Amino acid sequence: MNVATRRGFIKALPAAALTIPAITHAAEGVSPVQVMFHRWQSATQELEATPDDLSDAESLPLVQRVCALADSIVDVPSQSMADFILKLAAHTDFGQHDLSSCPSSEALAEELRALVEEITA
């Protein structure tokens, strides 16, 4: 193995580590939304565990990570009503944020309408 190939392999390890849990969870019957919700939940817990005297500059990357995970979960198709509930919980931080002010609120509303139609059909 040459140096360039070894470096490429080492650089690819973090990305591979991110996909392995998703594959494992999917094999166990856990949906992609559930996997993403658990990532959001872990990031939220990490943010909440930060010291109160942490500066805004120091906490900003954690806040951005939590927000990015909450935003990206909306793009993953729900496989069940439970998935939709997890999306709603993450996107509103369990009701701490107003859904109507969220950029993805229309996508969530469309999914909600589809689920209601499925239930009432």
- Higher-confidence residue of 69 and 5: namely 69
Q: Model's pTM, two decimal places?
A: 0.70
pLDDT at 90: 93
Domain positions in the chain are 1-30, 31-120
pLDDT at 13: 41
Task: Kindly tell me if the per-residue pLDDT of 12 is higher than 60.
Answer: no
Question: What's the pLDDT tens digit per position in 83-109?
Answer: 999 999 998 899 888 877 777 888 888
Mean pLDDT of the chain: 80
Longest dimension (CA), the chain: 61
pLDDT at 28: 67
| Amino acid identity at 11 | K
Q: How many helices (H) does the chain have, and how many strands (E)? A: 5, 0
pLDDT at 17: 40
Alpha helix locations (H) across the chain? 3-27, 32-48, 56-73, 81-92, 105-120
Quick one: which of 99, 98, 104 has its CA closest to 74? 104
